[in-house]
Structure 1
């Protein structure tokens, strides 16, 4: 697959946005049925009644369509994590809930919509922009919890914040990264509680 950047088009009117939505909807259904690799742009064009050339006016490649769908999936996982974190009062519980929600939401995508999960796995393999942006936002969320924990004196303050955040992120990454999750799912039931407990002990002041 060819790497793409800046795949969205700005300055389009409502009608054009409606067409983009039609393309994304058709692509999502095709990817669910046949998978990302086996779906061609010509298949999408036929399903919507457009020409391939017309679709390329809105998306420069199939990957650009896939990346938007991938971004939507990752945004759903991120929203679940955010809701879980925001539902806790103190930083230690926020961290526990972050671990738990990350695993549960990622596994839900894995088991319930495997074809779309395959897009996310391909995106992780090739480091699509949607995946990099998702990982950066999760890292920022984690660092914010750590900062709150230091301010409330729940967490130690000696280790540099960025070093602590990176270490914890590496612990979480097998359950956040779609490519790695498929190799970690056998431990998914017990992993959130065990890993978060281990991390919290290391953060004790």
Structure 2
């Protein structure tokens, strides 16, 4: 389904204001219980105990709150991926661990907390800025691994770097995008190792 990209809604009020943090925390719990799509700003106002107008002093829309919650969730996955990559020696092993971490961390978050998965799905469907930025950072991690592999002569260097990165990212994407992840549950245990091995064979010199 084609959707029009939306710009991230700016936060209002002081970014580090404790009330803003309180709104985000309460909204996260409310979304966990009732889901993102079915919740309105009025619902949040009643649940938190603030007026709707007061919430609008800090966020201009429900999506602005969802953007921040989504960004926090995606940061958790990214942190796991970076930790896995940084703990490995050599580009081939870094790539293997990247595949493994992507699948394991995404599955853990989205399967254990279905309501937060719904927010991530909304972000992917609406092309929210939080989702776009996350994809860009994951692509940068992948590109850094490929560049290292070329420098150490572990990977071939004939194919343009951006072409190689984009092709491998397409292989990873079903496990990064929540809309696609739900169709990959049946092969989740074996997929990381098999896909990483296939990609590494294609990168051999």
The superposition leaves residues 29-74 of structure 1 with CA deviations (integer Å, 9 ceiling, x where unpaired) of: 0000000012121122122221100101100100110111000000
The answer on 1:132 being equivalent to 2:123 is no
The answer on 1:66 being equivalent to 2:69 is no
1:50 aligned counterpart, secondary structure: coil
The answer on 1:7 being equivalent to 2:10 is yes
Mapping for residues 51-90 of structure 1, pairs under 5 Å: 51-90=51-90
For the aligned residue pairs, the C-alpha RMSD in angstroms reads 1.6
The superposition leaves residues 101-148 of structure 1 with CA deviations (integer Å, 9 ceiling, x where unpaired) of: 000000001211000011101110111000000000000000000000
The answer on 1:107 being equivalent to 2:110 is no
Contact 1:67-1:130 at 8 Å conserved across structures: yes
Partner of 1:98: 98
Gaps of 5+ in 1: none
Partner of 1:152: 152
Q: Distance in 1 between matches of 2:172 and 2:85?
A: 15
Instruction: Please report the TM-score for the alignment, with normalisation by the length of structure 1.
Output: 0.95
The superposition leaves residues 8-27 of structure 1 with CA deviations (integer Å, 9 ceiling, x where unpaired) of: 247x275xx10110100110
Change in CA separation of 1:43 and 1:9 when aligned onto 2, cut-off 3 Å: same
The answer on 1:175 being equivalent to 2:178 is no
Query: What is the number of equivalent residue pairs in this alignment?
Result: 202
Contact 1:88-1:94 at 8 Å conserved across structures: yes
Runs of 4+ aligned residues of structure 1 deviating over 4 Å after TM superposition are: none
Partner of 2:49: 49
Instruction: Please report the TM-score for the alignment, with normalisation by the length of structure 2.
Output: 0.95
Contact 1:4-1:64 at 8 Å conserved across structures: no
Q: Distance in 2 between matches of 1:4 and 1:82?
A: 27
Change in CA separation of 1:29 and 1:13 when aligned onto 2, cut-off 3 Å: closer
Contact 2:8-2:67 at 8 Å conserved across structures: no
Q: Distance in 2 between matches of 1:82 and 1:149?
A: 17
Partner of 2:24: 24
Q: Distance in 2 between matches of 1:59 and 1:110?
A: 25
Q: Distance in 1 between matches of 2:12 and 2:138?
A: 26
Q: Distance in 2 between matches of 1:98 and 1:8?
A: 33
